[in-house]
Amino acid sequence: MINPKIIDYIFSSASIQRWNDYPRMVELVELDKQAHKFIIAYFIAKFEKDVNYNHLIEAGIFEFLRRIVVTDIKPDVFRNALQKRAKEINSWVIANLKTSLDNIDNGLFLQKFEEYINNPNMYPKERFILKAASYLSTRWEFSIVYQTSAFLSDIDNVKKSVEEEIEDYYELIGVRKIALNKKLAKIVDLSGRLRFQKRWAQTPRVPETSVLGHMLTVAIFSYFYSLKTNACDKRVENNFFTSLFHDLPEALTRDIITPVKYSVDDLSDIIAEYEIKKIQDEILPNLPSFICEEFKYILGMYKDSKDEFANRIYEDEIKLVDDISKYNMDRYNPIDGVALKQCDKLSAFVEASLSISHGIKSKELVNGKKLIMKGLKEVNGIDFLSIAKQIDEEFCTTGQTQVRMDFD
């Protein structure tokens, strides 16, 4: 069973301000940066050979957790400190997270995490891709910061430093394409803009989370779910990236809240039809042709329909299936669509419960929680309704900003 602190750690990143020593026209938070980093890493990896996507996901989550623990240290200071006191800093990070992680995947997750942060030679290719993606997401943020900081005396020095660092990653084809403002850069921009779309926009909430940040929390939930169900490697990979991109079309259509989407007859079908058109017109043409079919599969596009939360496999063609556990082999390319929808609902439930526990309570949040709970159920042995009740007990009954999750 995962310690309640893990979910608290994950969602606390929505309150961690970035570039907070510079004036900003919008808030920039760590959760959004990490989500953008994962998205960029996915596209960079697609241009490379021999990338292990399970290792890429693991390493990304490891780095995310470490970054939350050391959040009060500026990145340049942290890198300098690591060069001189790496062992001591890593021991401190493990000490902070050990009780929260030691039960995940029978202790294997913690073991890998500890090995990863202490061994810079572990997952070298995936680590380098993530470093490049982290740089590009930071560079994207800086383009915002620079607009409101041009009057500062040192800002041009920062700009020069940011621009020069890109040379460290030029060996990666995807980095060159993004840097040269080619088609792929448009997808990076499109996904980055999802940080400006707030979840539960009709009501105040603490902490605020964006659509971009929400996509990552669902992806991490799906990863824990996949571990618990002993998913094959391809299933872990597909579940994570399907979750990570599940709201990408909202960059083109904007968020339409669930009660509106499903209470108006045929509206959800009309929206899905429009999303397909926008994806075909504005996303797929900007992707390299060799990943278009795979990306359509991840987005849930099937013939003339779209459903990212359908159970599906892909051999010679896409097939919708009822019981995905029967196809738990890499050759089937399985996606747990139904379970991922539960992860999506669970993330929304945490967003509402966490805000209420902070004293920000509205009828939209209260009614939203009730509506979400009605749709939660057990999938492949994971009782999402039970998890939500535990969350409710932890957040709202005890008033603690922690939750339990039954993924281990």
- Digit-by-digit pLDDT tens for the chain (408 residues) are 365 568 778 999 999 999 988 999 999 999 999 999 999 999 999 999 999 999 999 999 999 999 998 876 666 676 777 777 888 888 999 998 998 888 888 889 999 999 999 999 999 999 999 999 999 999 999 999 999 999 999 999 999 999 999 999 999 999 999 998 889 999 999 999 999 999 998 899 999 999 999 999 999 999 999 999 999 999 999 999 999 999 999 888 765 555 544 455 567 777 778 889 999 999 999 999 999 999 999 999 988 889 999 999 998 899 999 999 999 999 999 999 999 999 999 999 999 988 998 888 899 999 999 999 999 999 999 999 988 888 888 776 544 444 444 555
Amino acid at residue number 144: I
Q: Of the candidates 91, 37, 42, 88, which has an alpha carbon nearest to the alpha carbon of residue 64? A: 37
Q: What CA–CA distance (Å, rounded) separates 250 from 267?
A: 15
Question: Which pLDDT does position 265 carry in this prediction?
Answer: 54
Q: How many CA atoms lie within 13 A of 57 on its CB side?
A: 25
CA dist., res. 159 & res. 139, Å (int) = 9
pLDDT for 397 equals: 55
Q: Could you tell me the end-to-end alpha-carbon distance of the chain, in angstroms, rounded to an integer?
A: 4
pLDDT at 270: 78
**Rounded CA gap, 223 and 10, in Å?**
13
- 356/257 Cα distance (integer angstroms): 19
The radius of gyration of the chain from alpha carbons, rounded to an integer in Å, stands at 21
Q: What is the pLDDT of residue 2?
A: 60
Residues 65/97, Cβ–Cβ less than 8 Å: yes
